[in-house]
Amino acid sequence: MPQNDTVERPAAAVLAPLPAWSAELLGALALVLALPPWGLWPMAALAPALFVTGALASRSTWWAWARASLSGFVLVMLGAHWLAETALASLLFVAVVVAPVIGLIGPVSRWSLSRGALFPALPLVWVTLEALRMHWPDVGFSWLLVGHAWAAHPLTVQVADLGGVLAVSFVGACASTALLAWRMRRRGALPAVLVVATALLYGVWRPSTLPEPEAGPLIVSIQPGFPQELKEQQDMTAHRWQVCRQLALRAAAEHPQADLLVFPETMWPGGVFEDDRRGDPGPAFALPTTPARDALDDTLQQLSRQEAARLGELLAAFDGSTWALIGTTLNGVLDLRNPPVRMQNSVLLFDSAGTERDRYSKHILIPGGEKLPLVDMVPSFVGEWIEQLVYSIAHFAPNLVPGPGPSVMRRGEHDFGVTICFENAYGDYTRRFVQAGARYLVNLSNEGWFDTSAEFDHMQLQSVLRCVETRRAMFRSTNTGISSLVRPMGRMPREADVLQVNGQDRAVAGVFSARVPLYSGSTLYTSIGDAWAWLAALFVLARCFFVARMARLP
């Protein structure tokens, strides 16, 4: 006999003997345990069911949102605890901003899931709200998703090449739907189980269809292992660069035929100034006023230009054909005694003679660390006042200028795409490099901010997802780890593909090399990105309207 609403088991009864308010908190804890450092990834499937159960058991829509928001706050505080390594205020800021968005699962669940079959409504609701978190204007936080936990297993991650991390989350939410539908005696369990089973079969089949890769370039990277405290000391710039040079010379001795030498994010001494640029910089790169320019640190400026002149000499230590990819800043450095000077976080490509051939500037900036969130949405005079106020209090203004967006670089016969640190968390952005012709990806990062925390493992999961989504390999060059080669097969990098020193893969210094495999072809996700999630959002909005109207919820 078909199940219908008359035989449903109330959400509150499902929780017995636990109090109704505990459901969302248990959901948050389940997701935290599913992610690094604990890595109990199957537990992520419990999170959607628990959040929805708590929402349906709430006495009003407002309470459903409030309780889910509180649980979202707990999720961010525990799941992204590594943000506190930079400052506790950073973690609190992210938690306060993201928690209300997570809390929307409460009212949306009450409006759309109080009646009818739970499939496909519940998985689509969950994916819609994760997409909102990822793309939230100026403060999107693409972390702590169900798909991130399930990316740890090579079977469940494979569907990412169809719909990105959100497709992985959809499968995880289907497992949650089947469990909840069974517990509440609601329709939808069987089709949800079929989706999970199909995804697992796809995970078994899909890797075997990938073509044999071509042998790509030999890339060698230095990992200096600078603690962030040392990285921030301007008077230690010359020392840091000397360490980088010595590691580069070691790389030349060990791998003289390397095609590309990579220095991690912002390893260049000082900054590269506008009059060092080729061509017209355009309005986004306007030079600072003469007094501000004169006030910049002359020592760092001189060191930067001196080392630029010696770069060809450094590359000559290789066999004569090695190019260099170096993280730097454009427009110089901030002087704490003067108004802030706008900069870009950039990567420069040099040929074997030390001549600049190309550059890329970071487009997705870190809210609160590299830009002031939402400041572009207020009048310019208000934004300038806010920047000056922040600078007067903190002696630092996170006012980097974003780059224009994805563009590929070329070394030899092959194009490649470069992302910088935080950008690695955004698949819908990374795929655009592959659309532009990238045969492989390079990610430059400085994660010294996070000591040896689980942030490193979270970033590795992000890298696995980016590689599966695009079916491109990624070479990661980092300051303190984890420097690695991530292959597009959906597995975490094996030991041979990770820089390890005395068994440690983070907070160590060394040289890492790998020949990057080149894959061709495209994926569905490369073509459509997260667009399908917005179609899911339209379905959710329509269902909210009709179900809420029929149920007349408070």
Q: What is the pLDDT of residues 522-531, one digit of tens each?
A: 999 999 999 9
Band of pLDDT at residue 282, cut at 50, 70 and 90: very low
User: Exposure string (b/e) for 275-310, b if CB count within 10 Å is 16 or more?
Assistant: eeeeeeeeeebeebeeeebeebbeebbebbeebbee
Mean pLDDT: which of 72-76, 311-315, 366-370 is highest?
Answer: 72-76
d(CA 176, CA 178): 5
Task: Give, in order, the Cα–Cα distances in Å from 533 to each of 69, 128, 143, 529.
Answer: 22, 6, 17, 9
State the pLDDT at residue 292: 40
Q: pLDDT higher for 110 or 339?
A: 110
Band of pLDDT at residue 391, cut at 50, 70 and 90: low
Domain ranges of the chain: 5-208+529-551, 214-365+400-519, 366-399
State the pLDDT at residue 148: 97
The stretches of 436-486 forming alpha helices (DSSP H) are: 455-470
Task: Give the three-state DSSP class for 249.
Answer: helix
Amino acid identity, residue 468?
Answer: V
Band of pLDDT at residue 14, cut at 50, 70 and 90: low
Q: Are 270 and 303 in contact (CB under 8 A)?
A: yes
Q: What is the pLDDT of residues 207-259, one digit of tens each?
A: 999 999 999 999 999 999 999 888 878 778 889 999 999 999 999 999 999 99
State the pLDDT at residue 272: 63
* Torsion (CA) 263, 268, 271, 275 in degrees, nearest 10: -80
State the pLDDT at residue 268: 86
Quote the crossing angle between the two packed helices 427-435 and 160-184, to the nearest 10°.
150
C-alpha 239 chain-centroid distance: 31
State the pLDDT at residue 367: 79
Q: What is the pLDDT of residues 248-278, one digit of tens each?
A: 999 999 999 999 999 999 898 866 644 444 3
Average the pLDDT over each of 81-95, 100-114, 271-285 and give the range with the smallest value. Answer: 271-285
Percent of the chain topping pLDDT 90: 64
Q: What is the pLDDT of residues 325-368, one digit of tens each?
A: 999 886 544 443 444 456 788 999 999 998 889 999 999 988 77
* Torsion (CA) 296, 297, 300, 305 in degrees, nearest 10: 40
Please give the CATH architecture assigned to the domain spanning 214-365+400-519.
4-Layer Sandwich (3.60)
d(CA 543, CA 249): 62
pLDDT at 554 over 70: no
Q: What is the pLDDT of residues 443-470, one digit of tens each?
A: 999 999 898 999 999 999 999 999 999 9
Q: Burial-class residue 382 by CB neighbours within 10 Å (0-12, 13-18, 19+).
A: exposed
Q: Are 454 and 82 in contact (CB under 8 A)?
A: yes
pLDDT at 134 over 60: yes
Q: pLDDT higher for 2 or 52?
A: 52
Q: Are 317 and 249 in contact (CB under 8 A)?
A: yes
Q: Are 424 and 445 in contact (CB under 8 A)?
A: yes
User: Average model confidence (pLDDT) for the chain?
Assistant: 86
pLDDT at 296 over 60: no
State the pLDDT at residue 233: 81
d(CA 43, CA 62): 28
Sign of the CA dihedral 87, 92, 95, 100?
negative
Q: Burial-class residue 66 by CB neighbours within 10 Å (0-12, 13-18, 19+).
A: middle
* Average pLDDT over every residue of 110-124: 92
d(CA 372, CA 365): 9
Q: Are 458 and 148 in contact (CB under 8 A)?
A: yes
Q: pLDDT higher for 267 or 288?
A: 267
Which residue's structure tokens are 């390999």?
A: 473
State the pLDDT at residue 499: 95
State the pLDDT at residue 280: 35
pLDDT at 190 over 60: yes
Percent of the chain topping pLDDT 70: 84
DSSP annotation of 317: T
* Average pLDDT over every residue of 133-155: 91
Q: What DSSP assignment string belongs to 496-544?
A: GGB--BTTB-SS--EEEEEEEEE--S--HHHHHTTHHHHHHHHHHHHHH
